[in-house]
């Protein structure tokens, strides 16, 4: 939500959240930055995953890009499958998950 649209005061009066989400992009010097050109902010993916799944559920992203969906799933206790056919995406994900026990498969 955009700041001020539904603050605490308006929520008490019954104002409901809108269908518009307010979130910043991944900053150029953010610790979150992976270098992938279309990377989505972690906060957006966390919100989507919380709203559409439960802990332990399996989440699948067919256009995984930088792997933010997988990173959010790890943080929120979901299992995940990430798919992408772009070699740059795979390289970014491999670097991003280097310290995680991730099973990788490759289809040629």
Cross-strand pairs, 88:
none
| Rounded CA separation 71/39 (Å) | 12
pLDDT at 8: 74
Q: What does each of the 108 residues of the chain score in pLDDT, given as a tens digit?
A: 455 566 677 666 666 666 667 777 787 778 888 878 888 889 889 989 998 999 999 999 999 999 999 999 999 999 999 999 999 999 999 999 999 999 998 876
| Rounded CA separation 84/25 (Å) | 22
Measured CA angle at 41 (ends 77, 107), to 5 deg = 65
What are the domain boundaries of the chain?
29-96
| Rounded CA separation 99/87 (Å) | 20
Which pTM was predicted? Answer: 0.76
Class of the CATH-defined domain 29-96? alpha beta
pLDDT at 17: 62
| Rounded CA separation 15/53 (Å) | 25
pLDDT at 46: 92
């Amino acid at each position: 939500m955009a700041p001020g649209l539904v603050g605490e005061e308006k929520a008490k009066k019954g104002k409901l959240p809108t269908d518009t989400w307010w979130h910043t992009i991944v900053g150029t010097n953010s610790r979150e930055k992976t270098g992938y050109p279309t990377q989505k902010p972690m906060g957006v993916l966390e919100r989507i995953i919380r709203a559409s799944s439960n802990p332990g559920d399996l989440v699948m992203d067919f256009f995984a890009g930088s792997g933010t969906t997988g990173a959010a799933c790890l943080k929120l206790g979901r299992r995940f499958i990430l798919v992408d056919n772009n070699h740059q995406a795979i390289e970014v994900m491999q670097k991003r998950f280097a310290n995680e026990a991730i099973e990788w498969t490759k289809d040629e």
